[in-house]
Every structure is written in C-alpha cells, then in structure tokens.
Amino acid sequence: MLAGIVLGLLCFCFAIYLFFCGIAYFRLAFGGKKTAPAKSGMPPASVIICARNEAVHIKNNLTLVLEQDYPTFEVIVVDDCSWDSTLTVLKEMQKDYPRLKVLEIKEDEVYKHGKKLALTIAIKSAQYEHLVFIDADCYPSGKNWLMQIMETFGEKTEIVLGYGAYANKKGLLNKMIRMDTFRIGMQYLSLALGGMPYMGVGRNLAYRKSFFLKQKGFSPYSQIPSGDDDLFVNKSATRFNTRIAAGKGCITFSEPKKTLKEWLQQKRRHLTTAQYYKPFSKLILGLITFQQYFFWISAIALLFFERFRFISMGIIGGYIIIQFIVNLKVMKRMGETKLVVYSLLLEWILLFFFYPLVAISKLLFKQAAWKT
C-alpha cells in the first residue's frame, strides 16, 4: 500500500516535469533565434543605471555600456546618495561621452528611500520611449548587447526579459551561485515563452516608458523595499506583451558574492517579494517546487521497496537524461556550458542544503536595504 502511494507520487511528479518541459523548457531549449533587423530601423533607447557607492564598478563597467554598437541611445546614471567618489567618476566620464547623463539624489535626514525612487527619477528624465536597465556592478556580454535587447521589441511588446548571469570564478560557492541563477533564469524565461511571465531581473530588463507610466510606476507596491524588477513584471506582464531576449550576445554579467553569508543576505532580499506575486504565479511556482522536491524524495524512498526498485531507477534515469539534454541546450544558449557536468550535484546541494538554509535565515534575520 505504502509503496503504491510512493510510486504514484513519483509518477505524478515526473508527469508535472514533462508538462512543464512541453509548455516551457523545450521552447527555450530548442527555440530558434530571430534574424536581427537593420540597425537603421532601430528605435532610440535610454539605458538606465542606479548607482550607490559604485565608483569602482563604474570605472570598470560603464565604458562597456557607453560604447555599445547601437545607432541612437543615451545612458542615464543616477548617483543615489553615494558617499564615495561615484559622482566624481561620473562627471569625469561625461567629458568623454556626451551621451552620458548624470542625475544626483542627495541624502535626506528624514525621508529614507529605496531604489524605486532613483529608478522613477531616471525613467521620468529619459528622453526615449524604450528603456533598458542594467545594474552598476554589471557589464554586458559584448558590444551588441543593446542591439539584441532592442531587436526583441515588437509592435505590441511592452516588456523584454533578459538573463543576468554571474561571472565564472573558482570554487564551489561560485558554481552554486551560477547554478542557482541559471535555474531561476531558465524558469522565468521558459515560463514567459509558455505564456506565463512572472518575473524579471533589473540587471537585464527592458520596457516602454509609456507602459511604465500607464501602470502607475511602482506606486502599487511602493511600500515594499524591493520588487522594482520582479514585482513590476509580475503585476504587469502578460502572454501578449512580453518577450524574452535569450542568447550569449544579450547577457549581462555581475560579480558574484564571495562568501556564503553575503549570498544568503542577497537571497533573503530577493525572496522578500515572492509573497506579493499574483495567485496564479504562486500556484505555478508552488507546483514546480513541489515537483522538484518530491520527485527526489519519492524516487529515493521507492528504491527501498524491492518490488518497485527497477521502476524507480528507470524513472530516475529518464528524468536525468531529459533534464541533462534540456540543461545542456539552454546552457549553450545562455553561455553556461561549464556548469553542465556539475548540474545534477549542484541541484541536489541547492534543493536540500542551500534553499532550506535561506528559508531559515529569512525567518531569523531582517531584510537588508538595496544598498547600505
């Protein structure tokens, strides 16, 4: 009786995985790439960056944004209450790059604000309709990043979701961070292709200025410290107005955290907005999470029942093969092929060690601000 229940749970979880493969993962893994339009037909764009105490990253990364191979664009950087040399560095760079527009927000002793205010000021000052977002500590994968983001816009497209990766460094922690980022990226990009967009990342995101204003900006969730990216997408994206930019040329890279403590703090901040997602998004994400955990729990449990051992091994084998093929195809598309060898092991570490650790940490510690 118990073995039959466990077998049923295993088959149910495998069926859920195959369902999401069919409607989402396969589309990202095996989808074709569009041909880029002529540069002369591309609309102008405003690239927006918020910076707080980012002098070092501005020096290293901003030139790569300013020198994009794109016909007409401006780069708006908001110095959000920095107390380092961020503003000085920006003013110096302005001398060499006329397209660089610098805005400054000064610290208010009474009113404390988050990143949303800085973004709103930049958006309202943008002179172009198409807005592209990247973080100060990020750099684009190449000179065609902006072109490939912008070519994704269609006549009815309001939002474009991109992939924000982390730089490849040595060590297990780096592999865990990159695998976690890949899993999340594959999930939100795939579901967007399947007509269920639910989030995006502010380090590689684009939308129309008129659409932002029509949605009343961030005001529906202004009381929430985070959520300038994923909550905006979750509340306003639909299957009809959202597209993805997925490919090696349209990726951004960030410097990964160097310690487990720093990464835990970052993950706590990222996860605080999930409770505000739309009910349907919560249902889909809950179903995926249920499948990921209970597939392995039921599969391993069934191995202890001799009668169903070979059935369990067969399902596990099929699952691993399908997952490996999907991961490999998507990793090739998103420039993460160095992870494929470790993907199964890293998935187990994330599912059964790191994510529970994040959940416990979230209960014990308060959320940190976007920059301190």
- pLDDT tens column, 258-315: 999 999 988 887 778 888 999 999 999 999 999 999 999 999 999 999 888 999 999 9
How much is the pLDDT for 101? Answer: 97
pLDDT at residue 178 above 60? yes
Taking 60 as the threshold, does the pLDDT of residue 22 lie above it? yes
Q: Which of 206-210, 304-308, 334-338, 355-359 has the highest mean pLDDT?
A: 206-210
Does 343 lie in the same domain as 329? yes
Sequence-distant (≥ 6) Cβ neighbours of residue 178 within 8 angstroms: 165, 166, 168, 256, 336, 339
| Beta bridge mates, 207 | 131, 159
Dihedral sign of CA atoms 168, 172, 175, 180 in order? negative
Region 37-57: mean pLDDT is: 85
Q: Over range 223-240, report the average pLDDT.
A: 90
What pLDDT sits at residue 88? 94
* Domain membership flag for residue 180: yes
Range of the domain at 163: 33-276
Is there a domain that residue 234 lies in?
yes
Q: How many domains does the chain have?
A: 2
Instruction: Dig out the tokens for 342 from the structure.
Output: 């470790």
Q: What is the CATH number of the domain that holds 113?
A: 3.90.550.10
* DSSP string computed for 34-46: PPPPPGGGPPPEE
Confidence of residue 41 (pLDDT cuts 50, 70, 90): confident
Give domain status of residue 65, yes or no: yes
pLDDT of residue 89: 95
pLDDT at res. 372: 43
SS3 61: helix
Question: Does the structure show a pLDDT above 80 at 355?
Answer: yes
| Percent of the chain scoring above 70 in pLDDT | 94
243 and 161 in one domain?
yes
Statement to judge: residues 199 and 311 lie in one domain: no
Tell me the mean pLDDT in the region 20-36. 82
* Least confident stretch, 40-49, 201-210, 276-285: 40-49
Res 369: pLDDT: 53
Write down the residue that tokens 């795939």 correspond to: 190
pTM: 0.92
Q: DSSP class of residue 138?
A: E
Residue 370 lies in a domain: no
Ramachandran quadrant class, 161 (left: phi over 0; alpha: psi -120 to 50; beta: rest): beta
Measured distance CA(361)–CA(184) in Å, rounded: 20
* 3-state class (DSSP) for residue 53: coil
Decide if pLDDT at 83 tops 50.
yes
Whether 367 shows a pLDDT value over 70: the answer reads no
Would you say residue 8 lies in a domain? Answer: yes
328 burial via Cβ count (<10 Å: 0-12, 13-18, 19+): middle
Please indicate, yes or no, whether residues 321 and 239 belong to a single structural domain of this protein: no
Same domain, 259 and 178: yes
Give the pLDDT of residue 66: 97
Evaluate whether residue 369 is within a structural domain.
no
> Secondary structure of the chain: what % helix, strand, coil (to 5)?
55, 10, 30
Q: What is the mean pLDDT of the chain?
A: 91
Q: Tell whether 24 and 44 lie within a shared domain.
A: no
Quote the pLDDT of residue 110: 55
Angstrom CA distances, 353 to 46, 329, 346, 348, 350, stand at: 41, 26, 10, 8, 6
DSSP string, 70-127: -SSEEEEEEEES--SSHHHHHHHHHTT-TTEEEEEE---SS----HHHHHHHHHHH--
Give the domain-ending residue among 213, 243, 276: 276
Same domain, 308 and 231: no
Q: Are residues 293 and 245 in the same domain?
A: no
Go through the chain and tell me how many residues it has: 372
Q: pLDDT category, 366, cuts 50, 70, 90?
A: low
pLDDT for the residue numbered 38: 46
Question: 58: which residues sit within 8 A by CB, 6+ positions away?
Answer: 51, 77, 86, 89, 90, 93, 136
Q: Is residue 372 part of a domain?
A: no
Whole-number CA gyration radius for the chain: 22
Domain identity same for 161 and 292: no
